[in-house]
């Protein structure tokens, strides 16, 4: 499989992710990791935090640097609540369209925005769309960031989906070690999509609890 094609397929093809040594699941399989991309969002992120707090659930938030700069207090609130703050990039751009230097700059600016907001540098990274370029993956390792994709997703960014469909898709065949991808923001997806995610999240957590699966953080 050619290198660039393999990078493009990694988010949806486990064999491609394994070839690139990109984790899609948790190695210890202690529970299930909830993850949220694209925030922080002024409406979606607080609503997601409220649902998580009520359920005593933990999650990982892959934040966009330019949104963190607009709402640093909200990024700090995520960390203060005991969740993991991770890097999704400074801007939401497909890495394969960027030069190696542009990718490195994006990582550095995004990480700096998060560190300024929460007082600690991020340890984890997930690229927009889940797609690494060869140069981007080298840059992530060079920045001492750990890549992390996902194994289950709700496809909650879709315009015509429903909370029930999001929850059913996210939890279908879910098992220990899985990583669920959701979004707490609609900056780069269908307008208002985060509201459906917020409605779906209690259903997701309830199904995990029914299966006796704890929500855990990457470690």
28 is catalytic: no
Report residue 61: phi and psi, to 5°. Answer: -110, 115
114 neighbors 87 (Cβ within 8 angstroms): yes
116 is catalytic: no
Q: Please state, as a whole number, how many other Cβ atoms lie within 10 Å of the Cβ of residue 143.
A: 16
Indicate which residue of 83, 183, 186, 194 is catalytic: 183
Indicate which residue of 7, 37, 83, 88 is catalytic: 37
Within 8 A by CB and 6+ apart from 13, the residues are none
96 neighbors 129 (Cβ within 8 angstroms): no
Q: Please state, as a whole number, how many other Cβ atoms lie within 10 Å of the Cβ of residue 9.
A: 17
Burial of 111 (0-12, 13-18, 19+ CB in 10 A): buried
Query: In terms of DSSP H, where are the helices of the chain?
Result: 3-9, 14-19, 44-55, 65-70, 72-80, 100-118, 134-142, 163-171, 193-210
Place of tokens 């909830």: 34
Task: Return the active site residues.
Answer: 37, 183
């Amino acid at each position: 499989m050619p290198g660039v094609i393999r990078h493009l397929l990694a988010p949806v093809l486990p064999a491609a992710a394994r070839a690139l040594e990109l984790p899609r699941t948790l190695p210890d399989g202690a529970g299930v990791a909830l993850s949220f991309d694209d925030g922080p969002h002024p409406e979606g992120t607080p609503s997601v935090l409220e649902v998580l707090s009520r359920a005593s659930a933990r999650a990982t938030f892959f934040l966009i640097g330019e949104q963190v700069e607009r709402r640093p207090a909200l990024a700090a609130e995520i960390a203060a609540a005991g969740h993991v703050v991770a890097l999704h990039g400074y801007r939401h751009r497909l890495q394969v369209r960027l030069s190696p230097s542009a990718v490195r700059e994006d990582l550095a600016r995004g990480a700096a925005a998060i560190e300024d907001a929460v007082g600690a540098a991020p340890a984890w990274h997930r690229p927009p769309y889940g797609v690494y370029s060869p140069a981007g993956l080298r840059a992530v390792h060079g920045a001492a960031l750990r890549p992390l994709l996902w194994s289950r997703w709700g496809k909650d960014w879709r315009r015509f989906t429903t909370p029930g469909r999001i929850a059913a898709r996210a939890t279908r065949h879910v098992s220990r070690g899985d990583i669920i991808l959701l979004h707490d923001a609609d900056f780069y997806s269908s307008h208002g999509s985060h509201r459906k995610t917020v409605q779906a999240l209690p259903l997701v957590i309830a199904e995990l609890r029914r299966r006796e699966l704890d929500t855990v953080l990457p470690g």
